[in-house]
Amino acid sequence: MHRLDDEYEALRKTVEEFARDVVAPVIGDYYERCAFPYDIVSRMGRMGLFGLPIPEEYGGMGGDYFALCLALEELARVDSSVAITLEAAVSLGAMPVHRFGTPEQKAEWLPRLASGEVLGAFGLTEPGGGSDVPGGMRTTAVQDGDEWVINGTKAFITNSGTDITGFVAVAAITGRRERPDGTTAPEISTVIVPAGTPGFTVSKKYSKVGWSASDTRELSFSDCQVPVANLLGERGRGYAQFLQTLDEGRVAIAALSVGLAQGCVDESLRYAAERHAFGMPIAGYQAIQFKIADMEVRAHTARLAYYHAAEKMLAGELFKKEAAIAKLVASNAAMDNARDATQIFGGYGFMNEFPVGRFYRDAKILEIGEGTSEVQRILIARHLGMPA
């Protein structure tokens, strides 16, 4: 999948133009105000971006996950806040409902998710958990008659507190299961909690280093009650379901990372041609040329990595290792390119009015979110046969 066919290329071009003409001129102001860009999100919904991998019967575009990745890359070339809003809404919000939801849940949520009318969120991470999801999880959902009673706290949840957030799918301990050795392990399930449910409290937005125009919050649940029918997927399979979702999400985050890395190249080329030092454009100096050449190599290599992972995913083949490689390579490329672009811009690179300033602030989280770089190395090592 190294060459895009006409349909993919048309989508890529459309999103490229949207990012350049609609997002780029205004996103800096949203970023400075830490404001959620509702008007941009609404236009993305009308374009069908939130429904790219959702079947047409539910109001989606009937496309595939690679189409979503192409859109994410082009958006992130301009801004990562908008890109992560789309990524989380589809990958973590809509796709679990699409993959694991009942017919009733799909009918209730997917049309609105696909249109961008509402956003979904996934509540997995907890304040004391991080990468140790099973061991660190404390949130519980206890069945009481026809209802789940949920108690606990979730941290760093994207799209969880906007005015158009429709629900959060909450991962919680719903019991204990016995292991073959006689010990017990937590039974983790996922429950849909609609926004506004009594006992479900959304905290104020975090003050973040980057992604300032996206919505990220802490959530708390205190005797929060929802119907038993809100169970998403099979009871006790919540963590396994999320791991499947996360494999896809890592390919999407890799695409977003490639977009940021390529955006650094775009901005550096433009600036190097305009900025003069010692009587000539700095683009004429070999030090700058080599730096930008290295940046292009990183972006190109990372793009091939996520294309390869997506190709295996669409073919129905195992792609966990390839997704981990893509996420690791691409997030490293984004961080390295953001640092080099800031250096090329000099003092202007430290100013938020220039895109590379935002890129630098946005890049670091890509080495942390949806599986840290260390977790990716663990996954790769295990797939090479090394012991757990």
Active site residues: 370
The token pair at 234 is 């099979």
Query: What phi, psi does 315 have (nearest 5°)?
Result: -80, -5
User: How is 74-108 classified by DSSP, letter by letter?
Assistant: HHHTT-HHHHHHHHIIIIIIIHHHHHH--HHHHHH
Q: Return the DSSP state at 206.
A: P
Residue 175: strand, helix, or coil: strand
Which residues, in sequence order, are CB contacts of 168 under 8 Å at separation 6+?
120, 121, 122, 123, 154, 157, 160, 192, 193, 195, 200, 219
Helices (H), 275-285: none
Count the Cβ atoms, other than its own, within 10 Å of residue 206.
16
Separation CA 125–CA 155 (nearest Å): 6
Of 81, 92, 84, nearest to 168 by C-alpha is 92
User: Residue 285: which region, alpha, beta or left (left: phi > 0; alpha: psi -120 to 50)?
Assistant: beta
DSSP lists the bridge partners of residue 167 as 120, 194
